[in-house]
Amino acid sequence: EAGVVQSPRYKIIEKKQPVAFWCNPISGHNTLYWYLQNLGQGPELLIRYENEEAVDDSQLPKDRFSAERLKGVDSTLKIQPAELGDSAVYLCASSPRRGSYNEQFFGPGTRLTVL
Amino acid sequence: AQKITQTQPGMFVQEKEAVTLDCTYDTSDPSYGLFWYKQPSSGEMIFLIYQGSYDQQNATEGRYSLNFQKARKSANLVISASQLGDSAMYFCAMGRGSRLTFGEGTQLTVNP
């Protein structure tokens, strides 16, 4: 079974430029997460989808960040315009169901560097 | 609000020895889950072990065991017989429903 796929793995951009990250979750997983991980810290949730609905986006900086999950499968996270402080690893994760025990399967992440 | 604290930024252990990574948490919810993830230098988060707040027994998965002390709000990870491949960042996380809150991690180095 294929794991969570993310692309690109690395991205370097100039500040004020737009950038987009793509995630393909494990087949059949209804729940999809985007996390931000700063260097030396644990991941922080940005947004959670149940199928195509964003059910938890309270931590998403909506002035510059947007996300979509059309058809409830793949997802794209966008930043426009990027700032220096956005340099971090963006992790995508998926899980098969809701519930109190909710193991999340993570992708390898996209490392963003904003110059 | 939920909070996870990992007080050991770095830990060193000799190969084949056991090591304990500390984790304390704070929550007012009676129902929650505690997770440990491993993050090697490749960046992917790998699930290791889970403990439910109502579980009576400590969770074990192979060489990993979770020392759950509910009254002290601690959920320490014990790795027995350390291997060189165990060198990585280790994150403790607490979950309620579908939201996970992670600690800041502990960098474990296994020396030959």
Contact check, Cβ <8 Å, A106/B102: no
Residues B36-77: tens digit of each pLDDT: 999 999 888 999 999 999 998 999 999 999 999 999 999 999
- Which residue of A50, A53, A55, A103 is the best one to mutate when testing the B interface, meaning the one whose CB has the most B CBs within 10 A? A103
Q: Name the residue of chain A whose CA is nearest to B45's CA.
A: A106
Query: Percent of chain A, pLDDT > 90?
Result: 77
Residues A3-17: tens digit of each pLDDT: 999 999 999 999 999
Contact check, Cβ <8 Å, B100/A111: no
Letter string b/e over residues B44-63, b meaning 16 or more CB atoms within 10 A of that residue's CB = bbebbbbbebeeeeebeeee
Contact check, Cβ <8 Å, A89/B97: no
CA distance A63 to chain B (A): 23
How far apart, in Å, are the Cα atoms of A29 and each of A44, A88, B35, B98? Answer: 20, 25, 19, 13
Does the pLDDT at position B96 exceed 60?
Answer: yes
